[in-house]
Structure 1
């Protein structure tokens, strides 16, 4: 199952209502066969612009980020459920890519830049001179037939 990140923007609620709304969101993920990995609260902040959700204008919201594993077929159902929840202003699901593992050694990093392999490759590429040769488009004769 791929890893997804869900960003939620909830309207300003009292603490018990906020907990109930988050519990509904988490249970929706679990019902679709997902597994919660991480849950982060980013606090209550003013929204970047006025947002209208469920016929109410909002100026302030509470932000949360959830990381979860779920089958890719469940994402459409999750988005549909989140659109129906009246406590949610916005929700956005993004698939997280696994970071590229780079092998790095301290010995290589301690060398001056001019002696590192990747810098030497960049220097070699910069020294290559690309010269475009002008080619006259002639019909194959040894002379130019349109010249007097």
Structure 2
């Protein structure tokens, strides 16, 4: 199945974001998955402040990872991101039903610039 995870991490060091994505990617690969796309959206204001680990965050560093994996691999990635203290929020969705003709309509992850 094709999955997409959108994560919001604490803003700050870009090396920390790279480490988060590397860890999630390694989990996908170790469980027989294939990474299709990774996008770094950057730091944005959150729609509403998030309190996590006794700190109130108003900004978050957004990233997106799209990958093919089984249900168990997706659950492992989702659960690991949920317990990581550097992640403010993350969510994962299934894109399509795994058939090639349905997956071909999902192209590059679009993101419009506010500039």
TM-score (norm: length of structure 1): 0.61
Instruction: Tell me the equivalent position of 2:86.
Output: 87
CA deviations over 1:57-95 (Å, ceiling 9, x no partner): 211011111110000122222221111111111111100
Unaligned stretches of 5+ residues in structure 2:
97-101, 106-115
Change (3 A) 1:100 1:21: closer
Distance, in Å, in 2 between the alignment partners of 1:28 and 1:21 is 11
Give the structure with the larger strand fraction: 2
Match of 1:33, SS?
coil
1:15-30 superposed matches below 5 A: 15-30=14-29
1:69-108 superposed matches below 5 A: 69-97=68-96, 98=102
Match of 2:67, SS?
strand
Instruction: Tell me the equivalent position of 1:52.
Output: 51
Q: Which has the larger radius of gyration?
A: 1
Moved segments of 4+, more than 6 Å: none
Change (3 A) 1:69 1:56: same
Which protein, 1 or 2, shows the higher relative CO under an 8 Å CA cutoff with sep ≥ 6? Answer: 2
Match of 1:19, SS?
helix
The CA RMSD over aligned residues, in Å, is 1.9
CA deviations over 1:91-111 (Å, ceiling 9, x no partner): 11100022698xxxxxxxxxx
1:58-73 superposed matches below 5 A: 58-73=57-72
